[in-house]
Chains A and B, each alone.
Chain A
Amino acid sequence: MDKILLAHGGGGSKSAELTRKVFQRFLRDPLLLEMEDAARLPGQVFTTDSFVVKPLFFPGGDIGRLAVCGTVNDLAVMGAEPLYLSIAFIIEEGFPVTALERILASIAAASRASGARIVCADTKVVEKGKADGLFINTAGIGRPVFRQPVRPSRVRPGDVVMVNGPLGLHGISVLTARGEFGLRASVRSDVAPLWGLIGKCRALDVPFMRDPTRGGLAQTLNELAHGRRFGVRIMENELPIPKKVAAVCDLLGFDPLHVANEGKVVMVVAGADAERALKILRRHPLGKGARRIGEITAAHPGRVVMATRSGSERIVMPPVGEILPRIC
């Protein structure tokens, strides 16, 4: 590896390779090496994320809403209530202030909805052509409040895998908003702050949560199963994939399981708590479409397998490289 490729930012196996072969040679803090969505500090969790989505505005959201939700959700899936955010802008010379105002209004609204306060900020301006409009970085601090620790090491066969609603909306929304294919399908991104929903489950036994962003459900489930003594089995029949998402994926040869979400959480819930969890999720506006999509199995450890509609089975692999660059 001597140059960075777009694929290295895709969140898939190429990203993992970059992390392993380059970053981890220099940055080796034990908390960082845990490779979770956020670092577990004493009594707190801490995370950061940068946003380079193109276009800046898309149906259902914009880069500002994404920047708040992305970080808030990374905290929430650690079982932590998001408290404080920082936000930093890299803006290109010539960027219209009206567009900046729209983005800021959306940041303010998302921060209110998420419950996290934005308490520090920074702005840098670069020459025209150097930042494609605007990039945003956010960082966040949260407080773990789940009664039992959210740790993948606690996942056991018999646990239930669930998701809070339809999959693939964010990726397809951004993709069609780029107008690259003359596609008119208007798909709204699902970008949303999830703590309001996730927080309701704090009393339940939830050993694993993750927001299936880049790389989609396939990436998330593979990260969960990788190197573990359990496997994951999902059922194609139960996957909530909207018709429009399926149609665009068909056309472009994408697997909907590889497409990014920004308002979804994959939860692994202890079997005994599964029914309660579904009830709680479905009562919340962001969880109306919640459903059980699979289970943790003792069979095929380390692997994710899908029971297909035709009664057969197939492996579910994470995507390789750049499927859709600059989706978040």
Chain B
Amino acid sequence: MAEKNRLAALADRLRHFPARPLTKVMEVCGTHTVAIRRAGIQHLLPETVKLVSGPGCPVCVTPDHFIDEAVSLARRGVIVTSFGDMLRVPGSRSSLEEERAAGSDIRAVYSPLDALEIAAASGRETVFLAVGFETTAPAIAAAGMMALERKIANFSLLTALRLVPPALQALMSEDARLSGFLLPGHVSAIIGRQAYGFLAARRLPGVISGFGAEDIITSLLHLLEMINKDIYKIVNTYPRGVRDRGNARSRAVLAQVFEPADAEWRGLGLIPSSGLRLRPAYAALDARRRFAIRVDGAPARKGCRCGDVLRGLIDPPACPAFNKACRPDRPLGPCMVSSEGSCSAWVTYG
């Protein structure tokens, strides 16, 4: 009961918060997008505050080209393992789900270690689609290290790992109207509060938030308060998950296996040092080397404005395909596929 009252009181404070005109806040992380809409928090915002979704949905920012590479691997008889969300993403010609129905061996897993076990048990060439941010990268790095240690030579990684801070930097230089960021709890648990110093330097506040309705409302209140008072700090309202310095051990594992590299993001284009590639000592794990994958350049996706959604330039309903040609049951673009995509969240939770 006490919890219920506290939540209602917080919601009330948010509703009546005297926010500045034209306040535009970006929630960076897909998990936040879903949590916000699931709790209906967007309806609690003061009229002058606009909340836009950012690029923090791994499936969404992965370019079509990557799906095409995975499809080409699957067609060669390689076991392709992946987080489930990737399976329905349409590539330029086909999706992994369609390839599986056509007979390819494609398996949804919940951890790269499951993929490693599949490789060990089957003895067949097994590729894991390494997609995600700083959150998933350490586990993938650990699986890679384990593969070498256990001499599981038939395991490899097709990588499209991305880093959050460089994407935020790219967004900041593009859209001067952003007033502040709701920062991802899980990613921050790894990189720490210290990783966001560049935001404050550009006069942008940020709040690292947990994922419960109460966490998010509390964080938004903090953020709006700082915006009102021209305070440019990074505040951590999620101390049970995030320490200032993050998780140094996870970062060390990550850094042993991967190094930063320029990377292509859907919507954002090529961002310097925003991706991860395998270090030379781990090149044996690189599926691109092992299989010399060749795919044609993917044609531009017609009618889908995922890219603009990911940059926070438009809300999903402003896309001409939204909920018409592009729907959760037959998605055109990845923002409608991923359970963390903003288009899917808008359709699912209204």
Contact = CB atoms under 8 A, between A and B. Distances in A.
A311 B328 CA distance: 27
Nearest to A179: B114
A308 B328 contact: no
Nearest to A17: B329
Interface in B9-27: 10-12
Nearest to B216: A310
A317 B213 CA distance: 20
A77 B10 CA distance: 41
Interface in B86-111: 88, 97-98, 100-102, 109-111
Q: Chain A interface: which size bin? A: 20 to 34
Interface in A10-29: 12-14, 17
Q: Chain B interface: which size bin? A: 35 or more
A7 B40 contact: no
Nearest to B110: A181
B350 A309 contact: no
Contacts of A252: 110
A315 B213 contact: no
A315 B42 CA distance: 13
Nearest to B12: A311
Residue from B31, B109, B214, B329 with most neighbouring chain A CB atoms (10 Å): B329
Contacts of A181: 110-111
A170 to B, nearest CB: 19
B304 interface: no
Residue from A4, A237, A308, A312 with most neighbouring chain B CB atoms (10 Å): A312
A315 B7 CA distance: 20
Contacts of A237: 4
A41 B111 CA distance: 49
A311 B329 contact: no
A184 interface: no
Nearest to A253: B339
A8 to B, nearest CB: 9
A253 B345 CA distance: 12
A314 B350 CA distance: 6
A314 B40 contact: yes
A49 interface: no
Given A5-B97, A180-B114, A315 B349 contact: yes
Interface string B258-286: 00000000000000000000000000000
Nearest to B87: A322
A3 interface: yes
Contacts of A321: 88, 328-329
A48 to B, nearest CB: 25
Interface in B39-64: 39-41, 43-44
A320 B347 CA distance: 11
Interface string B231-248: 000000000000000000
B34 interface: yes
B41 A312 contact: yes
A3 B39 contact: no
Q: Which 3 A/B pairs are nearest by Cβ-Cβ distance? A: A312-B40, A315-B350, A320-B328
14 contacts: A4-B101, A6-B100, A180-B110, A253-B340, A308-B39, A309-B213, A311-B8, A312-B39, A312-B44, A313-B40, A314-B37, A314-B39, A314-B349, A320-B328
Interface of B: 4, 7-8, 10-12, 31, 34, 37-41, 43-44, 88, 97-98, 100-102, 109-111, 114, 211, 213-214, 217, 328-329, 339-340, 347-350
Given A13-B329, A310-B10, 6 more contacts: A252-B110, A253-B339, A310-B41, A311-B8, A312-B40, A320-B328
